[in-house]
Amino acid sequence: MFKLEERKDEYQKICDLLRHHSYKLTPQRQTILKAFLEHEDQHLSAEDTFMMVKHNYPDIGLATVYRTLDLLAELGILQKNDFGDGRSRYEFNRQDEHHHHHLICVQCGEVSEFDEDLLESLEAQIEKRNGYHVIDHDLKFYGYCEKCKSALD
């Protein structure tokens, strides 16, 4: 269950940001936002999110979930990712954290993160050699997770 006490400040900041941009804080948006706070370590698709929230808010529609996720991504609250499986996945956009990258299992579809960022020195070289100012990068590795790799052996 969502422990608002533990995440109250973060939840309130997001609610304030929505209001600041003249968006209503509807019960559907609150429910979706709470689902992401409860599962912040996951990369949720609209369908995943819908399945999580429909039992708490049975009248919510999949289209509402899609619109809300796109809105939260547009406002920079969520980051929208494409892991090549035909579904967009969302996660909190942690601008104050070190950039992380993704490991994607081609067999089971599991997505995990790793924080080692060896690209910072490459970005500096690119800027120095080419005069190109890099503002972001995205790195994904595709392969087999430990479980699927073991099953192949």
What is the pLDDT at residue 149? 87
> Residues spanned by CATH 3.30.1490.190 within the chain?
101-152
CATH class of the domain defined by 101-152? alpha beta
Q: Give the model confidence (pLDDT) of 82-122 as tens digits.
A: 887 788 989 887 655 556 778 888 888 888 877 776 777 88
Q: Is 61 helix (H, G, I), strand (E, B) or coil?
A: coil
What is the pLDDT at residue 1? 43
Question: Taking the alpha carbons of 59, 64, 66, 69 in that order, is the dihedral positive or negative?
Answer: negative
Percentage of residues in the chain having pLDDT higher than 70: 90
Long-range contacts, stretch 134-138, CB < 8 angstroms, 24+ apart: 137/99, 138/101
User: What is the helix (H) or strand (E) element at residue 7, kind and residue range?
Assistant: helix 4-20
> Residues spanned by CATH 1.10.10.10 within the chain?
4-92
3: DSSP letter: -
Give binding residues as ranges: 99, 105, 108, 120, 137, 145, 148
Over 70: is that where the pLDDT of 6 sits? no
Give binding residues for Fe cation as ranges: 99, 120, 137
Question: Taking the alpha carbons of 141, 143, 147, 153 in that order, is the dihedral positive or negative?
Answer: negative
Is the full-model pTM beyond 0.85? no
CATH topology of domain 4-92: Arc Repressor Mutant, subunit A (1.10.10)
Q: Give the model confidence (pLDDT) of 58-89 as tens digits.
A: 989 999 999 999 999 999 889 888 887 788 98
Give binding residues for Zn(2+) as ranges: 105, 108, 145, 148
Over 90: is that where the pLDDT of 12 sits? no
What is the pLDDT at residue 102? 81
Q: Give the separation between CA 36 and CA 46, rounded to whole angstroms.
A: 11
What is the pLDDT at residue 22? 93
What is the pLDDT at residue 153? 74
Q: Give the model confidence (pLDDT) of 18-61 as tens digits.
A: 999 999 989 899 999 988 888 887 889 999 999 999 988 898 99
What is the pLDDT at residue 2? 47
